[in-house]
Structure 1
Amino acid sequence: MPKAVLNVPSAEPKDIRWFYDKYAAMLLGYINGIVQDHRKSEDYLVSILTAFTAEFGTTEKSQLSIWLELRQYAQSKLAVLTEKHHSLTPAHVNSNGNLDLLDDLQKQIFCAVYYHGKSISQLATAFSSEEDEIRNQLKRSIDKMRRSRGN
């Protein structure tokens, strides 16, 4: 358990310690599945649990309801936190020169989808564009790369 959590005095049943004891393992597994870096996952876990307990209402809810709220909260926070660390610029990968065939927009979309795991809806929001346009650009970039390899 991180030192930050241990130093918090227990005041009421639903304080940060209660949340940590009850949900930290499940939440860490969920976060680690998204982030894929154990150290960052632990850091995100602490920040998400701390923020969630600060915003969590005092109304009694079932534990299933709490877990669902916590997971949704974590999902929204992770979208913000991971966005800071992943830009839409092309990743440094060995692409055998195929990325050089694409224009800048196609390259950004292709790299965001295939190397950074972004969704079409996230990219549409980021580029202030329609989802259909993002799909078309992605399809064009894949077609260009296939043609260059003779597929």
Structure 2
Amino acid sequence: MFKAVLNNRSAEPKNIRWFYDQYAPMLLGYINGIVQNPQKSEDHLVAILTSFVKDVVVSPEKNRLNMWLELRQYAQSKLTLYTAKDHPSNHNQSVPKGGLDVLDDLQKRIFCAVYYHGKSIQYLATTIGCDESEIRNQLKLSIDKMRRASGN
């Protein structure tokens, strides 16, 4: 068990241990799917569990499914912040502005995230809040628009 969970004095240790035992494996799998670096995933897990226990009332009486969904949603919002710190977007990177001007905001966001920042379709679907097929469709449409605009 992580030191951060054991040494947290802001809540009753019995509840923290119960919470850790119940949700840490699922949460670590979820985080690792997004971060894809075992050490950073564990670091994010510690930070998210610690802040979740401090910010949200954790009790064994809550419905397990509701608690997991609440934790996953909390982790998703925190991971967006953490991954932005780990992988800041490089605004000085040369992006051909002429081609991107033909795209709407969503298509531009998806295209730049996938092509220039290396984000996955699954990650974008999670952060934007739509299904993966819609992300793929918007990416395909953006590529088609840019090809037509450049004459290819």
1:28 maps to what in 2? 28
57-66 vs 6-15, greater mean Cα deviation: 6-15
Find the structure with the greater CA-based Rg. Answer: 1
Structure 2 portions without partners, runs of 5+:
101-107, 129-138
- 2:19–2:58 CA contact under 8 A, matched in 1: no
What's the TM-score, normalizing by structure 2?
0.63
Q: 1-side partners of 2:146 and 2:40: how far apart? A: 32
Instruction: Please name the residue that 2:62 is paired with.
Output: 61
The TM-score with structure 1 as length reference comes to 0.63
Aligned 1:1-151 pairs, distance under 5 A: 1-8=1-8, 11=12, 13-15=14-16, 17-57=17-57, 60-89=61-90, 102-103=96-97, 106=100, 110-114=111-115, 115-117=118-120, 119=124, 139-141=144-146, 147=152
Cα distance change, pair 146–54 in 1 and its aligned pair in 2 (3 A): farther
Q: In structure 1, what is the Cα distance between the partners aligned to 2:99 and 2:19?
A: 43
Q: CA offset at residue 84 of structure 1? A: 1.8
Identity of aligned residues (%): 45
Q: What is the rounded CA distance, in whole Å, between the counterparts of 1:87 and 1:41 in structure 2?
A: 17
Distance in 2, Cα, partners of 1:83 & 1:52: 19
**Contact 1:89 1:111 survives alignment (8 Å):** no
Q: Which amino acid aligns with 1:7?
A: N
1:138 is displaced (CA, Å) by: 5.3
Q: Does the CA contact (< 8 Å) of 1:86 and 1:116 recur in 2?
A: no
Task: Name the structure, 1 or 2, with higher relative contact order (CA <8 Å, separation 6+).
Answer: 2
- Aligned length, in residue pairs: 129
Question: Compared with structure 1, are the counterparts of its residues 143 and 42 closer, same or farther at alpha carbon in structure 2 (3 Å cutoff)?
Answer: farther
Q: Pairwise CA RMSD of aligned residues?
A: 3.9
State how far apart, in whole Å, the 1-side matches of 2:147 and 2:140 are: 11
Distance (whole Å) between structure 1 residues aligned to residue 78 and residue 69 of structure 2: 14
C-alpha deviation, 1:58, in angstroms = 5.4
Structure 1: runs of 5 or more not aligned: 93-98, 124-133
